[in-house]
Amino acid sequence: MNEQVASRRTERRGHASQTQERAEDASSRRRRRVARWISRGVLLAVTVILGLISEKFLFDTTAQAASRGIMFSSAIGTTIARVGLGAFPLACAIVIVVCLLSVERIRLGLWFVIVLFGTVLGVRVLGAAADGSIAASIPLIMPEVVFLVATATAIALSSRAERTT
C-alpha cells in the first residue's frame, strides 16, 4: 500500500514538473516572439528613415543639399553627392530589408544598424566638434542616439530571450 501511495506521489510530482516545464517553455517562446517583433520594429523604422533620406537626395539632390548649406559647383559634384547621400543610405536600407526577411538574420541586421549608426554618430560628433557646429548638429545627433539605444535594447532583449531557452 505504501508503495502505491509513493508511486502516486511521484507521478503527481512528475506531472507538476511537466506542467511547470510547459509553462516555462511557453513563457520562453513568448519572450523570444516579443524580442523578435521588437527587433523587427527597430529594423523597419531604420529602413524607413534610410529610405526617406535616400529618396530626398536621389531625386532632389541640389535642393536638399542647399537646404543644409551644401552647394555644388559642378555637375560631377551633384552626382557625387547623389551617390554619397542617396545611394549609400538606400544600399543600407536594402541590407536591412534582407535581414528583416529572415529570422536567422534579424540579429545580424541589428548589429549592422549598431555599426552604421555608431560610425555615423562618431563621425558627426567629431566633425561637429572640429567644425564648431555642435549646436546645429544636435537635431541630427538625437535621433541617431535614439536608434542606437533602441537597437542595443533589441539586441539585449533577444540575447536574454535566447539565454532563457
Least confident of 3-17, 95-109, 129-143: 3-17
Task: Show the CA angle centred on residue 88, arms to residues 100 and 110, nearest 5°.
Answer: 30
Asked if 39 and 107 touch (Cβ cutoff 8 Å), the reply is: yes
Is residue 162 very low, low, confident or very high in pLDDT (cuts 50, 70, 90)?
confident
Measured CA angle at 53 (ends 153, 152), to 5 deg? 10
Q: To 10 degrees, the CA torsion angle through 82, 86, 91, 92?
A: 140
Cα–Cα distance, 156 to 148 (Å, whole number): 12
Q: Which three cell numbers stand for residue 61?
A: 539632390
Structural domain includes residue 42: yes
pLDDT value for 139: 95
Q: Percentage of the chain surpassing pLDDT 90?
A: 72
> Is the predicted pLDDT of residue 8 greater than 70, yes or no?
no
Which domain range does residue 68 map to?
A: 28-163
In a domain, 6, yes or no: no
pLDDT of residue 10: 59
User: Which pLDDT does position 31 carry in this prediction?
Assistant: 85
Average pLDDT, the chain: 89
What is the count of structural domains for the chain? 1
Task: Evaluate whether residue 1 is within a structural domain.
Answer: no
Whether 156 shows a pLDDT value over 60: the answer reads yes
With contact defined as beta carbons under 8 Å apart, do 54 and 90 qualify?
Answer: yes
Q: What is the predicted pLDDT for the residue at 99?
A: 97
Cα 118 to Cα 101: distance, rounded to the nearest angstrom: 23
Give 16-52 pLDDT, tens digit per residue.
Answer: 566 655 656 778 888 888 999 999 999 999 999 999 9
- Residue with the bigger pLDDT between 158 and 130: it is 130
